[in-house]
Structure 1
């Protein structure tokens, strides 16, 4: 298996985990911030939308116009970034949950389609130009590796939110 295929597989598996969590929490609870947490499910989903776009698309192949047509990324970065802020929730019904789900799926589909066109030599290349230093990656391999690790980190937070809202862990 090539390195790019391995990374793509890890990104798919981490999204499968997130999709399981999404299917287990009623949409009516997505904007609830449970006691003992500092976030809600809607913020977590929005954050994964912008982070997958950043780590696995923008840093790898540059700005993707298809993503910008589907998602108001400039607005979303202001709402869902999370870097340097403790504000990790969004107000109820800011964005309909169905819209967030659709956008989460769309970014993932674009990501996987783009990665399917790449070969291993691209992994050692520097990141595409971005307006600031990447928080953890210096090359494309590191950005893709961080993408799935970061998504699994947030899936753990989503699991904690789900559990705090009275929906226990389900394994399969």
Structure 2
């Protein structure tokens, strides 16, 4: 297995973990902010959508028109960007849980399709141009590596939100 395949597999595995969490929390609870937290499940999903687009697509191969057809990129970047964001929730009037689920899956499919076309030769090349410094990566390998680590970080937050809403942690393989 080469490095790009390894990174792709890690991105798939971290998304499988998120998908388990998604399946365990009813959509009617996605917009509830549990006591003593600052976020809801819906915002976490929206954040993962824009984060995967940013870390695994935009800085790797540039702006992707397929993603732009699936999500309102500019609007979502404002709603779900986490860098310094104090407001980490979204209301159902903005976007429904079922729409977020579909968009999460669609952007992930585009990400994997995009990665299938790449080889190890791109990994240590500079990121595609963006109007600011990437928060953690200096090259494409670092961005892809951060993508799955970041997703697992938010999986922990989502697990805590789910637990606080009365849905226990389940560690069984499904």
With normalisation by structure 1, the TM-score equals: 0.98
After TM superposition, list the pairs within 5 Å mapping 1:118-133 onto structure 2: 118-133=118-133
- The equivalent of 2:77 in structure 1 is 77
Deviation at 1:119, TM superposition (A): 0.5
Question: Per-residue CA shift, 1:22-81, capped at 9, x if unaligned?
Answer: 000000000000001110000000000000000000000000001001100100011100
Partner Cα distance (1:57, 1:20) in 2: 23
Moved more, 14-23 or 78-87: 78-87
Of residues 91-100 and 8-17 in structure 1, the stretch that sits farther from structure 2 once superposed is 91-100
CA distance in 2, matches of 1:8, 1:82: 23
Structure 1 stretches of 5 or more lacking a match? none
For structure 2, the residue ranges without an aligned partner over 5 or more in a row are none
Give the equivalent residue in structure 1 for 2:31: 31
State the match for 2:154 in structure 1: 154
| Separation (CA, whole Å) in 1 of partners of 2:2 and 2:155 | 26
Q: CA RMSD in A?
A: 0.7
Name the counterpart of 2:10. Answer: 10
Q: Are the aligned partners of 1:31 and 1:93 in contact in 2 as well (CA < 8 Å)?
A: no
Alignment of 1:83-162 (within 5 A): 83-162=83-162
Aligned residue pair count: 172
State the alpha-carbon separation in 2 of the partners of residues 82 and 121 from structure 1.
30
Cα offset for 1:94? 1.9
Whether the aligned pair in 2 keeps the contact of 1:14 and 1:148 (CA below 8 Å) is yes
Greater displacement, 87-96 / 2-11 = 87-96
Deviations 1:123-142 (A, max 9, x none): 01000011110000000000
Work out the CA distance in 2 between the residues paired with 1:112 and 1:156: 23
